[in-house]
Chains A and B, each alone.
Chain A
Amino acid sequence: MTYRDIVIVGGGPAGLAAATAAYDAGSTDIVVLEREENLGGILNQCIHNGFGLHTFKEELTGPEYAARFEQLVYDRGIEYRLGSTVINVSDDKVVTYVSEKDGLQKIKAKAVVLTCGCRERPRGGINIAGARAAGIFSAGTAQKLVNIDGLMPGREVVILGSGDIGLIMARRMTFEGAKVKAVVELMPYSSGLNRNIVQCLNDFDIPLLFSHTVVDIKATNGRVSSVVIAQVDEKLQPIMSTAQEIPCDTLLLSVGLLPENELAGYAGVQLSPVTNGAIVDDQMMTSVEGIFECGNVLHVHDLVDYVSEESTHAGKCAAAYVQNGMTATEYVPTCGTNGVRYVVPQKIRKDTNYEQISLRMRVANAFRNVELAVLLDGEKIVSRKRPIVTPGEMETVVLNSEMVERVKHGSKLEVTLLGGTK
């Protein structure tokens, strides 16, 4: 067993930002463990542009954004090990990993930052009937095949789910010569950006069918030959009289992301049933002392800029913990009400000197002309007017030190929506 101050699990944008920030805060004894052969995480396959507007004030592609954060790690000489898959994290912060080069290794850390990202919800997770045929891929797997390996998953494509990854892949497959016959969305709206609906579908006359789903998959010789789609009613149940068959050889699933929290589970970290990520305090520390979480493993982010911001904070806090030990004694929980589905962090400490605290949240439904307000024991302490809030876009409210100062033990800190129309 070897000993390190900070072990970071995952070398995606979250891990890179956390490592850089911890280093700059004076904890330089760090190792980043990454199971792939490259740093940068999922961004390496997101070759489209639109990343980094907040952070760099310019529109970068995914690999360019990742490269900037990789450079920060190289510049500092922070150690990273590639091809190293972490298979266990214990509650006393022993991190076990395997790699071809090192075999099975254990590292005892003073602090662990989990930045494992998320994975796509598989077919089993949504239960589509029909043939177990070749030609069914998650949109992200197809993205990797096309962009990293240069392989085409198929020629005639139907995409289920209109999240951004599905929309981006509709355009990508079209560029590569495939015919995308339809994007089918269960809900009456898309969780994807308007920009992607316009530039990835409308530009190429790809139909987007709202309130529709795939009810059957047919196969010939073990390969998808068509899918049957149908409209759904208000209860999201298929109306079989509307069923229509679309010939195709490929079905892409873009039906949501799930934080990858097996390791957190092994360590005994308490998870939130709403975010599927850890329950953390404002220092991004989980219920297990010295284990931190940030990025997509904590909750699904739509903008990588916020991943970097959150993870920079987590890295700083991990360094502070290594240097000063545990300082928290009292917590005040946060909660979302009246349409605010969740708030991260789920609790704030009552003992530290704060500059500010960012509360991040998602709403359950779209609202227009609404006020996003933080209430302390029922009294509004800060709010933001928003022309629109949607479930697809994360919202942030910042509490300054004065506001945090007012939070007392036993206070109720609530984020809520005031006014607004659906």
Chain B
Amino acid sequence: MSKQFICINCPLGCHLEVDDSNLDDIKVSGNTCPRGKIYAVSEVTAPKRMVTDSVPVEDGDVLRVSVKTASPIPKEKIFDCIEVIRTVRAHAPVNIGDVLYSNVCDTGVDIVATRNAKRI
């Protein structure tokens, strides 16, 4: 099947045309450089995204700390991941990089803090 993407790797934003009828030989056109092809192949085979959000902190000097997935997760799990993050509560002190939830939605990826909170 033919699919269309806009390459996100540089401001040129090439319009990519991808034929993935044979997954072992995915054909990409419209790319100006090799990065476009790599991007198109990952978008049709295993698209991934970082998820960022914020969660409440107890006893902290701020009300909430921001969080992220430690690495990108499969795109189709974004909303399940958000549901899980909604249940997370942090307890001050929180340091950047602290794991607030492990292995979110069986992705093998942790939810980590991206902001510090002091205990008050």
Contact = CB atoms under 8 A, between A and B. Distances in A.
B8 A199 contact: yes
Interface string B57-69: 0000011101010
Interface in A66-105: 67
Given A61-B66, A64-B96, A203 B75 contact: yes
B82 A148 contact: no
Contacts of B82: 175
A388 B114 contact: no
Nearest to A387: B12
B50 to A, nearest CB: 5
B13 A47 contact: no
A54 interface: no
Contacts of B51: 175
Contacts of A194: 6-8, 11, 13
Contacts of A203: 49, 75, 78
Given A44-B115, A203-B49, A387 B54 contact: no
A47 B63 contact: no
Interface in B3-61: 5-8, 10-13, 32, 49-54, 56
Contacts of B8: 193-195, 198-199
A150 to B, nearest CB: 5
Kindly state the interface size class of chain A when it binds its partner: 20 to 34
A390 interface: yes
A197 B53 CA distance: 19
Contacts, number: 73
Contacts of A195: 8
A194 B39 CA distance: 13
Given A61-B68, A64-B96, A149-B63, A47 B49 contact: no
Nearest to A177: B82
A193 B10 CA distance: 9
Contact of A388 (B11, B54, B63, B66): B11
A38 interface: yes
Contact of A61 (B56, B63, B114): B114
Contacts of B53: 47, 175
A60 B50 CA distance: 11
Contacts of A371: none
B64 A147 contact: yes
A63 B63 contact: no
Given A49-B52, A61-B66, A388 B12 contact: yes
A60 B13 CA distance: 22
Contacts of A390: 11
A61 B52 contact: yes
A305 interface: no
B34 to A, nearest CB: 14
B13 A148 contact: no
Interface string A379-402: 000000001101001000000000
Contacts of B6: 194, 197-198, 202
A48 interface: yes
A47 B66 contact: yes
A61 B53 CA distance: 10
B54 A67 contact: no
Contacts of B52: 47-49, 61
B71 to A, nearest CB: 10
A230 to B, nearest CB: 26
Nearest to B85: A175
Contacts of B5: 198
A387 B32 CA distance: 10
Given A67-B116, A388-B12, A150 B63 contact: yes
A193 B63 CA distance: 31
A148 B65 CA distance: 8
23 contacts: A47-B52, A47-B114, A47-B115, A48-B52, A67-B115, A146-B54, A147-B66, A148-B54, A148-B63, A148-B64, A149-B64, A150-B54, A150-B56, A175-B51, A193-B11, A194-B6, A194-B8, A194-B13, A195-B8, A199-B8, A203-B78, A387-B32, A390-B11
Given A61-B52, A147-B66, 17 more contacts: A47-B52, A47-B53, A49-B50, A60-B114, A63-B66, A63-B96, A64-B96, A67-B116, A146-B54, A148-B64, A149-B63, A150-B64, A175-B51, A175-B82, A193-B11, A203-B49, A388-B11
